[in-house]
């Protein structure tokens, strides 16, 4: 069967801890605020913005929400290794990023799909996700894809916010100075790869959030 969702309530609880069994690396979670993302149409896109933004290649998920402004936050892990001395510069990685639609308990999870994707085609532990080639992920509204003409390569507000902050993983709310549209960007865990996005729902079936998992915390229940 396809990959199943982990316990994201745990992952987004400040103070949650984990240990990577093979390396002994320990992690402590804190939440980082990414501001309020504007979704003019409610059609959500998740992708690597340095690769996909403005290219029209990243399709929105099939599940849409009511247009509006929604909070973005990241579960950021501070990592330490038992064989390394304490450092003045903490080792931070975004373990997962969340677009919060409503502040209600999530009771079920489903894999976020793009048009044409079929869960029945996935084999054991497989998932649909987006590819990362520039170490960065994001959320934005589908109507915003062409609304960042300033962003090209290592130029524009998207690059500038990471450069200004020493390429710390964020999250960051980025605004186009010419259109006023926004996107929420963040480091993609350990970097390049492919990462799934999950949709949470209440017992009544209402969407609570979109969560992209960057696999920093072990998938095993033995944390």
- String of DSSP letters for the chain: -------HHHHTSTT-EEE-TTT--EEEEEEEEEEEEEESS--EEEE-HHHHTTTT--PPPS----SEEEEEEEEEEEEE-TTS---SS-EEEEEEEEEES-SS---EEEE---TT--GGG--TT---EEEESSSEEEEEEGGGTT--TT-BTTBSHHHHHHHHTTT----EEEE-TTT--EEEEEE-TTSSEEEEEEEEE-TT--EEEEEEE-S-S-SSS--
Total domains in the fold of the chain = 1
Q: Is residue 1 part of a domain?
A: no
The structure's pTM equals: 0.93
Q: Is residue 2 part of a domain?
A: no
Confidence of residue 52 (pLDDT cuts 50, 70, 90): confident
Q: Is residue 17 part of a domain?
A: yes
Confidence of residue 152 (pLDDT cuts 50, 70, 90): low
- Asked if the model's pLDDT at residue 220 lies above 70, the reply is no
Q: Are 54 and 149 in contact, with CB atoms under 8 Å apart?
A: yes
Q: Is residue 31 part of a domain?
A: yes
Confidence of residue 223 (pLDDT cuts 50, 70, 90): very low
- Asked if the model's pLDDT at residue 193 lies above 80, the reply is yes
Average pLDDT for residues 131-152, to the nearest whole number? 86
Least confident of 16-25, 114-123, 131-140, 187-196: 16-25
Q: Is residue 223 part of a domain?
A: no
Torsion region of 149: left, alpha or beta (phi above 0 gives left; psi -120 to 50 gives alpha): alpha
Q: Is residue 198 part of a domain?
A: yes
Q: Is residue 221 part of a domain?
A: no
Q: Are 96 and 76 in contact, with CB atoms under 8 Å apart?
A: no
Range of the domain at 38: 8-213
Q: Is residue 220 part of a domain?
A: no
């Amino acid at each position: 069967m396809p990959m199943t969702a982990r316990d994201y309530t745990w992952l987004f609880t400040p103070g949650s801890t984990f240990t990577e069994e093979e390396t002994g690396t320990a992690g402590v979670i804190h939440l980082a605020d990414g501001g309020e993302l504007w979704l003019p149409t409610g059609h959500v896109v998740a992708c690597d913005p340095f690769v996909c933004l403005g290219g029209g290649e990243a399709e929105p998920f099939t599940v849409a929400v009511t247009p509006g402004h929604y909070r973005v936050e990241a579960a950021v892990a501070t990592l330490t290794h038992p064989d390394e001395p304490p450092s003045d510069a903490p080792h931070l990685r975004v373990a997962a990023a969340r677009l919060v639609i409503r502040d209600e308990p999530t009771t079920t999870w489903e894999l976020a799909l793009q048009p044409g994707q079929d869960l029945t085609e996935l084999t054991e532990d497989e998932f649909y996700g987006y590819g990362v080639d520039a170490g960065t992920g994001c959320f934005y509204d589908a109507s915003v894809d062409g609304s960042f003409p300033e962003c090209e390569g290592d130029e524009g507000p998207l690059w500038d916010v990471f450069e200004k902050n020493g390429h710390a993983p964020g999250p960051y709310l980025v605004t186009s100075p010419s259109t006023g549209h926004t996107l929420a960007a963040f480091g993609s865990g350990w970097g390049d790869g492919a990462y799934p996005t999950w949709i949470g729902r209440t017992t009544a079936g209402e969407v609570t959030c979109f969560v992209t998992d960057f696999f920093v915390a072990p998938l095993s229940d033995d944390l």
